[in-house]
Structure 1
C-alpha cells in the first residue's frame, strides 16, 4: 500500500512538473513578434569560402568563392558596406601590436592573406598597415589573385574603427586567451564616452573575457566556456521559467542545430535572456570540428524557427533584404 502511495505521489509530481514546463516554455503563450531579427555581419562584408573541412590551420583566402563584391574583411570599407546593407552589429577581430595598439585582422600569422610573414602580434602597427591585405586571395587555386595590390594600407587599427563608427554597435573578437589582452583592451575601451561604450560587445578566450567583464561590468561578452555554463544551467532551470545567473549580460551565439535543446526556444528564451541583459544571435549549424557557419543563404534563413532573435551572417548583402521582405 505504501509503495502504491509512493508511485501515485511520484506520478502527481511528474504531471505537475510537466504542466509547469509546458506553461513556462510553450510558444503558444509567447507574445507575438513585432520586430525583425538583429543582424550581425561577421567581419563586415567579406569574401566567403566553403566552410567544410576548415580548421584553425586552413588559409581561407586561398579557397574563396568567386568574388561577388569588392570588399575585404575587417576593413573600414567592408564595415561601412555592411551597415549600409542593413547590419545592426558588425563583428571584427583584433590583435595587439608591439607598440601598444590593436590592429584589426583575423589571422594569427600574416602569410595567408597578406604579403607579409610572421606572427601578426609581433609587428608594429605601422608595419602591419604597410601590408597588402588582399595579396593572398584566390578563387581558382592560384591562377589569378583578384585583390592583389588592392589591399595596401587597408588594415585599420581599433582606434580608427572606434572613431569611424562612434554611434554603431560593434562586436570585438579577442583572438587569444591571454588575460593581459583583456586588460589592455579594457584600458582602451574605458576611455570612450559611456554612450559609445554601451554599444560595444566582446568575445574570445575565457581569460581575457573574464578580465573585461570584471573591468567593465556593463559590457556584454561571450566565451565558449561562459556560454557553455549558461546553457547547461539553463537546461537544469529553464523548464521552470528561471534564468540562471550565468546567463546574465552574455552574448549568446547559438548554433541553429542546437536550438531544439533550449527551453522556451525561441520567443520565451529570447525574452528571458533580454530581461537578463543578454543578446541572442543564431548562427549556422555546428558540425563536427568545422565550427559554426553563418546564415548566408535563403534556405538557411527559411530553416530557422520563428521568431528569430538575431542572425549571424557572412553575407549581410543577401540576408538583410530577405529579412526586410519577411517583416512586411
Structure 2
C-alpha cells in the first residue's frame, strides 16, 4: 500500500471513529430519572382504531368501557395527573364569543346531542350540550354515558385556572392561521413562566403564526416534525440540530428512533440543549404517525433506563409499567 493511500485510510478511519464517538450514547451523560409521560386526551374511552378516516365517528365505535372518564374534561385531566401523567394533551376550537372550547371533534354531531361545526358555536351554547351523548359500544343499543356529560365541555381558560402549574399540550385542530393568532393572543397574556409549561401542535399554518408571535412556546406541526427528523437523520451526525427541531416538541415514532444519531441519551441531550422536548410515539407505518406507546410490548422496545418523553393513550397502564403510578 502506498504512503498516500495509507494516509487516506488513516484519515478515513479517524473520521469514522470521530463520528462514532460523537454519536454514541455510551459517552453521553445519562440524565437519569423516569420517563416523562404525556397523556393523550387525558384518560379517555378507547375505540376501534382500524380503518379510521378523518370523519370517522369514534364515539360510535367505542370499546367496552373500563372506566367512566370522558376525554377533554377537567375530571379526566385531574385523574390523568393523579395517575402519573406529567403532561396532558387537549384539543381546542375557537368559539364565536371569543373563547376556546376544549373538545376533540370538528363537529358536534358524533359525540354530543348538538349539531354543526364546533367553532361556529358560542361557548355558552357548548356548555349546554351532553358530551357523553353519542358513546356506544354495541352499535347503538345502549349509550352508557348519555346524560352524564351535560355541561362538561370546558373552556381553555377553565383548564388554565384548574391546573395553574401543570404542563399542558394544546392541539389546534384547524389549518386556519387566524386561529393561531387568536391562541397566540391568549398565550401572550400568561406569565413567561407559565408559557414555558405549555406546548402547542397542529396545522402548519396556525403553528407557524404561534411560533412567530409566541417564540418562547414550544411548538410542532406535521411539516415541521418531518423536516426535523429527515434533516437530523441526514446530518445530525455532525452534532448540528436542524432549525425545525429547535424550541420544539419533537415527536419520534418508536421504529424511527434507532435511526436518530446518538439515540437515546445524546439525542435527548441535543434536544434539551435547544429547548426542545422529545416524545416517543408508536410505530410509523407510512400512512401517518401512530397514536402512542400503549402496551408493555411497545414499551419494551425502548432502551432500558430511557428517561425521555412517552406519548400514550393508556396513562394508567404506562405509568404503572414505568414506575410512575401514584397508586
* TM-score by shorter chain over 0.5: yes
SS of the residue 2:258 aligns to: helix
Q: Which residue of 1 aligns with 2:310?
A: 311
- Structure 1 residue 214 and structure 2 residue 232: aligned? no
Shift of 1:8: 6.1
- Structure 1 residues 13 and 120: CA distance shift in structure 2, 3 A: farther
User: In the TM superposition, what whole-angstrom CA distance separates every residue of 1:108-151 from its partner, at most 9, and x where no partner exists?
Assistant: 01111111111111111111111111111111222211111111
Match of 2:93 in 1: 95
CA distance in 2, matches of 1:220, 1:247: 10
Moved more, 299-308 or 144-153: 299-308
CA contact (8 A) 1:38 1:88 kept: yes
Within a 5 Å distance, the mapping from 1:129-148 to structure 2 comes to 129-148=127-146
TM-score, normalised to structure 2, is 0.93
How far has the Cα of 1:59 moved from its partner?
1.0
Higher mean C-alpha displacement, 218-227 vs 27-36: 27-36
In 2: Cα distance, 1:243 partner to 1:5 partner: 37
RMSD (Å), alpha carbons: 1.9
Residue 278 of structure 2 aligns to a residue whose secondary structure is: strand
Whether 1:153 and 2:151 are equivalent positions in the alignment is: yes
1:224 alignment partner in structure 2: 222
What SS is found at the alignment partner of 1:28?
Answer: coil
Q: Give the Cα separation in 1 of the matches to 2:316 and 2:18.
A: 42
Residue 110 of structure 2 corresponds to 112
Q: Measure, in 2, the Cα distance between the counterparts of 1:288 and 1:53.
A: 14
| SS of match in other structure, 2:108 | coil
Shift of 1:16: 3.3
1:247 CA drift (Å):
1.6
Shift of 1:13: 4.9
Contact 1:41 1:89 in 2 (8 A): yes
With over 3 angstroms needed to count, the CA separation of the structure-2 counterparts of 1:150 and 1:169, relative to structure 1, is same
Partners in 2 of 1:204 and 1:109 — Cα distance? 17
> 2:246: which partner in 1?
248
How big is the shift at 1:6?
Answer: 8.2
1:322 equivalenced with 2:318 (yes/no): no
For residues 19-34 of structure 1, the aligned pairs below 5 Å read: 19-34=17-32
Greater helix content: 1
Check 1:5–1:211 CA distance in 2 against 1; reply closer, same or farther (3 A cut): farther
- 1:9 Cα offset (Å): 6.5
Distance 1:290 1:111 in 2: 25
Moved more, 28-37 or 258-267: 28-37
Matches within 5 A, 1:225-304: 225-289=223-287, 291-304=289-302
Indicate the residue corresponding to 1:180 in structure 2.
178
Q: Which runs of 5+ in 1 are unaligned?
A: none
Structure 1 contact 53–290 (Cα < 8 Å) conserved: no
CA distance in 2, matches of 1:13, 1:250: 36
For 1:221 and 1:204, the matched residues in 2 are separated by 9
Unaligned runs of at least 5 residues, structure 2 = none
Counterpart contact for 2:32–2:307, Cα < 8 Å: no
Deviations 1:251-309 (A, max 9, x none): 01111111122111111100100011000001111224264121112222112234241
| CA distances 1:178-225 after superposition (whole Å, capped 9, x unpaired) | 111111001111111222222111001111111111111111101111
Counterparts in 2 of 1:212 and 1:293: CA distance versus 1, 3 Å: same
Normalization by structure 1: what TM-score? Answer: 0.93
CA distance in 1, matches of 2:279, 2:307: 8
Q: Tell me, in whole angstroms, the C-alpha distance in 2 between the residues paired with 1:119 and 1:66.
A: 28
The separation in 1 between residues aligned to 2:15 and 2:204, in whole angstroms, is: 35
Report if the CA contact (8 A) 1:37-1:309 is conserved. yes
